[in-house]
Structure 1
């Protein structure tokens, strides 16, 4: 979970697993931020360990790649990483599909980095002359890819 403040908005990147629910809320509260203060949640992908706490942020716009949404609604046989709970949870929220290059708010955009999942997203923060990329799973060499060539292309972009 990463927290950004840009364009006057509080932006959360991923929400983590349900087992860390109290820690997530506590970390925000320690920074003077309540759950209702989060304006945008960007989900890098819909695996359980990245999105289970999304329902905590009922006021937020939930941004996710359309391929991830499709996989949640129509999971591949045997895929239990996202499947039913993600689709059910997101159906109750203000979910917006975002794709490569879409602007989230001033200085923040998403970059498609398929590899770990087909609809994986990274987040690019631009402030003045500086750029920071929150690359998540595609920056870690030991993560199992899908498809095999995806991580190589994503890492070249990063």
Structure 2
């Protein structure tokens, strides 16, 4: 008998963006909530700039941090992993290659937060290698380029769409449109290959720092949601 993988609901609960300052960037990444059979799961936790927004987003959905059973970290840069301390009861999943890389990053990669290894060692940590299933319907695979250990997730949504949660393997629309890696601490060639793979397998892509990308009738990817940025001065 052929096993049919479950379809998994998902939503972006913290909206990232690719806005930058003259000499810096805001570092706001997408945080995605999944509802696989094992229970609520987050993909990335965002940076400190999203800390309050993440808690409010979970509360609005009837969830407390203790309800999050699993946190999958696409990679370990600060803007994707700063808020891991909010989930002391969760199991954290990281690729072993990213774990090793974070201890000895590229000389130009200054985005690894200090104390990260100690915090994760004190948690329920699972290191994964290669590609496979985290559970039925939830496939993980290497997507190097931005960092050597970047991993992405693939799932089938309730409407049947093939979805890839790409993390920074595809950070924003430009990388998907040009099929070219921008800001690669591994190699640009590895990043290009990861982008091509994701583009070939997805109907929808959740990038690291941009609204969801949707495959158009001509096969190209674009976005339908506004990239809103609600800035208030007090």
TM-score relative to the length of structure 2: 0.63
2: distance between equivalents of 1:127 and 1:23?
25
Q: Which stretch of the first structure deviates more once superposed, 41-50 or 52-61?
A: 52-61
1: distance between equivalents of 2:129 and 2:164?
16
The number of residues matched between the two structures is 158
**More helix as a share of residues:** 1
Q: Give the structure 2 partner of residue 133 of structure 1.
A: 164
Q: Give the structure 2 partner of residue 152 of structure 1.
A: 192
The Cα of 1:135 is off from its aligned counterpart by: 1.1
Q: Give the structure 2 partner of residue 104 of structure 1.
A: 134
Q: Which stretch of the first structure deviates more once superposed, 47-56 or 104-113?
A: 104-113
2: distance between equivalents of 1:83 and 1:76?
14
Output the aligned Cα RMSD. Answer: 1.8
Q: Give the structure 2 partner of residue 69 of structure 1.
A: 99
2: distance between equivalents of 1:91 and 1:74?
17
Q: Give the structure 2 partner of residue 49 of structure 1.
A: 79
The Cα of 1:102 is off from its aligned counterpart by: 2.4
Q: Which stretch of the first structure deviates more once superposed, 29-38 or 77-86?
A: 77-86
Q: Which stretch of the first structure deviates more once superposed, 139-148 or 106-115?
A: 139-148
2: distance between equivalents of 1:122 and 1:24?
21
5+ residue gaps, structure 1, are: none
The 1:83/1:143 distance shift into structure 2, 3 A limit, reads: same
**Are the counterparts in 2 of residues 124 and 131 from structure 1 also a CA contact under 8 Å?**
yes
1:27-82 CA-to-partner distances (Å, cap 9, x unmatched) read 01100111001011000000000000011111111001111111223344464311
**Are the counterparts in 1 of residues 47 and 79 from structure 2 also a CA contact under 8 Å?**
yes
Q: Give the structure 1 partner of residue 214 of structure 2.
A: none
Segments of 4+ moved more than 4 angstroms: none
